[in-house]
Amino acid sequence: MFELFMRALPLLQTAVLITLGLGLGSFILGSMLGMLIALARISNVKPLKWLAFAYVSIFRGTPLLIQILLIYFGLPNYGITMGPIPAAMLALTLFAAAYLSENFRSGISAVDKGQWEAAWSMGMSYPKTLGRVILPQALRIAIPPVGSRLIALMKDTSLASTVTVVELTRVADQIGATTFRYMEMFLIVGFIYWLINQILTILQTWLEAKLSRRYQ
């Protein structure tokens, strides 16, 4: 197996970077969009509220693979052509935003209403109340589910292989096809995914502990 690993190493190095780029990039963009959707869900503006609800319903209710295929193969019918990596990044971002919005919304909802009232009694505006009082507490509460979503998203990048993105799963399939050693190759790639996600888990645990100490 070590000989196979060394043979695949040049391709795996590039594939790891692509996998990390897709996972982290879509997580960051998805978090930004997800926060906007979460704020729309808790707003008093009904059209915004229903639009955000519809978005979450659609992207949580349909498989990620279908979304990737629709963006990559479907959009060209309407004159919108995207390369494999941008198409995969867009699909992962839109998909992640739906789940992250619910994580953020639950975090915001968990903050005591008295915090809102106290901030408003001091004359704070809605944006200041959110930025200085509510979101710091909400994000601390939301760290566990948000961290779990990042780990899940890192594994979801494997679906990008269906639109020819040369990430870890695609490399495993290619090397397996040329060597007929599928079992060993997929075990190697599975270990790499596990290692990446273990590092993310350790970082999540460290961040949780640090913020817990800060608010004690």
| Whether domain 2-214 has CATH 1.10.3720.10 | yes
Burial label, 127 (beta-carbon count in 10 A; 0-12, 13-18, 19+)? exposed
Half-sphere exposure of residue 117: CA atoms within 13 angstroms, side-chain side: 3
Q: pLDDT band for position 119 (50/70/90)?
A: confident
pLDDT one-digit tens code per residue, 62-90 = 999 999 999 999 999 998 999 999 999 99
Structure-token match 């919005």, residue found: 101
pLDDT one-digit tens code per residue, 183-192 = 999 999 999 9
For the chain, the residue count is 216
pLDDT one-digit tens code per residue, 165-203 = 988 999 999 888 888 888 999 999 999 999 999 999 999
pLDDT one-digit tens code per residue, 157-166 = 999 999 989 8
pLDDT reported for residue 11 = 87
CB 115 within 8 A of CB 140: no
Map out the domains of the chain as residue ranges.
2-214
